[in-house]
A and B are shown apart, each in its own frame.
Chain A
Amino acid sequence: MEYSGARILLESLKKENVDVLFGYPGGAVLDIYHELSNHQDIKHVLVRHEQGAVHAADGYARATGNVGVCLVTSGPGATNTVTGIATAYSDSIPLVVLTGQVPTPLIGNDAFQEVDIVGITRPCTKHNYLVQDVSQLASTIKEAFHVARSGRPGPVLVDIPKDVQNQMHAFQYPERIKMRSYNPTYKPNNNQVRRAIELLSEAKRPLIFAGGGVISSNSSEELGTLVRSMQLPVTGSLMGLGAFPGDDPLWLGMLGMHGTYAANKAVSNADVILAVGARFDDRVTGKLSSFAASAKIIHIDIDPTSIRKNVEVEVPIVGDCKLALQGLLRVQETEFADVNWADQYDEWNKQIREWAVTHPVRYHDEESLKPQHVVETIFELTKGDAIISTEVGQNQMWTAQFYQFRQPRTLLTSGGLGTMGYGFPAAIGAQMAYPDKLVIDIAGDGSIQMNSQELMTAVSHKLPVKIVVLNNCFLGMVRQWQELFYDRNYCSTCMDAQPDFVKLAEAYGAEGYRVTDPAKLKETLKAAFDSPLPCIVDVRVEAEENVYPMVPAGASLEEMLLV
């Protein structure tokens, strides 16, 4: 029995347990869309811009841990996915992006809607493919999913020419896959694991630095067990939020540019740092030469390139975070059973507590509507039981500081690329995966305008995503830099020309709310959260509020500007 390429593609997706496709049709994928109507078991979310499709697939992937999938046409459809792909690549999110391509005989001739999307996305995908023959289609899809989700996950693009979609071929989905050129290392080296515990047993001022790898490897539980049995204080990168409960006494909050005082002090004074699935981004380290100056670093990462890329490492452990943490636990419980960790670290933990108590993240609580208070109120209303996405800028940092993430996969945020416009479509993707969960995009007035067209997607698919706009009428984070480092020259950051967000919501058939009075904040948010419809809550916050602490770019972590 022979199937068309289009059908082979969809049958292959089902073999990969794909139940949702985020997409947008066009000439080069018409055959696939034609076939799609025969496959009711694959839901299709019709977005309003291809960038939205990729972010939605990304949000779906972050919330579930599964590969997110999207489908777009050639040319402009394909180029519109690039920002989304780069966003996922920066944060190691597993995606399969399917693009239509002009028929193979036309490739290279500047055909209508032809672009070399494989060439364009080479540096921002984990890998990509051009399928040149229908006989290769099923195995390419198999490989694409395998590459996307294994090792350090990432986006994979598969470009499928139109003629390949309607050529006929027998369908046989490969059971297994063997790639001589791709074999990620999962099992950590036992000697290194042992050395790590040995180093910690000699430490007086240890610290765990958790990154997004803890979340992508689903090892929060292992991390928690290790932390509690050894009484190790924990900090995390933006991508690591939720890896360890934000309300646990051993949690110090995020480190880095807008990290907490306690976390940045702890990193700067630690003698041993155990980094788990983190990559020492410049927003985390500040000035490299003074970062963790007195610490020996143990670094667990599945990607060898992350190790020793930015910082010198004493004990490198290449492997899956979960297996590595399990290994650490085993060695600690057996060979180091008689160490009294709590005693050994007691003084250090007291010091850290003192930093945390004397310098919590805070703001001046005045009469006006403070954005930080809005985030706190969202936390109070949800008790952490919600999926939160963010846009980029101050809104993102206040969310990181004032919302206590208690579970992994409850924060969807563009960390590495810092993509404005990410949060709302990502929330749509997450809501698609969890229709009954409360999904909230904590947004900025600038960012939300980058993908607000997806309101139509949310309304038409009955996805009751809530957008809370921390509306400061500014590109706030940029304005903050201008205030602090560019003589308050607010060039092109004032956004007082903006749509009426309430009417905007209503125009799409969503609900719009506005909050100007602090006293009405909680009840308005509650009404929006209880509504069965997608909502925008336009909260008019203090316009020139800044995010603190702040480590100026290029300064060392101890040079924090405080409130």
Chain B
Amino acid sequence: MRHVLSVLVENEPGVLSRISGLFSGRGFNLDSLNVAPVLEEGVSLMTIVTRGEQQIIEQIVKQLRKLVTVIKVTDMHDSTTVEREMALIKVNATESNRAEILRIVDIFRCKVVDVSLDELTLEVIGDHGKVEAVIALLERFGIKEIARTGTVALRRSMQPEK
């Protein structure tokens, strides 16, 4: 099961390696990890995407909380969230298939951010599923390069009643 974890940490040297070391040392899955400072001075937010059975996820959350530099851990699975990630995709675009690629761009509300005679570079923004879908659709044209951010997520303001 895929889980998105929001981890507030003290923004100090070494904090990233404490977290990544925890995942590698204990053999936890780490699909993506995104870090950036938040509003509060000296605090960063890490968004971690991981996979595992419930018991493993529970361990991951507890192990993260145990780290002395971690302030707060939220498993986004427990609430409804907005999630986004972004990908830049450089895809082969010949005269014959360019139109079809642009149709996909249109349908998925991607942007063309760079063009050459035989390539298009697209920007896709969406949740994880959407980015995966666009990549899958473009694969047959030949993807030359890809650069992706990890997922970032926030809880929705209105949560359904439990």
Contacts and interface: CB of A to CB of B under 8 A. Distances in A.
- What range describes how many residues of B lie at the interface? 10 to 19
Contacts of B69: 127, 181
A130 B13 CA distance: 9
A182 interface: yes
Residue of B9, B13, B17, B62 most packed against chain A (CB within 10 A):
B62
Main secondary structure of the interface of B (DSSP, over half): helix
A123 B21 contact: yes
A305 B14 contact: no
B68 A119 contact: no
Contact of A305 (B62, B70, B71): B62
A309 interface: yes
A133 to B, nearest CB: 13
B71 A181 contact: yes
Contact of B66 (A118, A123, A130, A303): A303
B55 A308 contact: yes
Interface string A123-144: 1001100100000000000000
B87 to A, nearest CB: 32
A180 B71 contact: yes
A122 B14 contact: yes
Contacts of B55: 308
B18 interface: yes
Interface string A101-136: 000000000000000001100110011001000000
Contacts of B58: 308
Contacts of B68: 126-127, 147, 179, 181-182
Contact of A181 (B10, B21, B59): B10
A304 interface: yes
A181 B7 CA distance: 11
A305 B26 CA distance: 12
Nearest to A119: B17
B18 A122 contact: yes
B160 interface: no
Interface string B41-60: 00000000000000100110
Nearest to A304: B62
B99 to A, nearest CB: 53
Contacts of A308: 55, 58-59
A180 B10 CA distance: 9
A309 B56 CA distance: 8
Given A122-B14, A130-B13, A308-B58, 4 more contacts: A180-B71, A181-B9, A181-B10, A181-B68
26 contacts: A119-B17, A122-B21, A123-B21, A126-B68, A127-B68, A127-B69, A130-B13, A130-B14, A147-B68, A179-B68, A180-B71, A181-B9, A181-B10, A181-B68, A181-B70, A181-B71, A182-B68, A303-B66, A304-B65, A304-B66, A305-B59, A305-B62, A305-B63, A305-B66, A308-B55, A309-B59
Complex A-B, nearest 7 residue pairs according to Cβ-Cβ distance, in ascending order: A127-B68, A305-B62, A181-B71, A304-B62, A182-B68, A123-B25, A305-B63
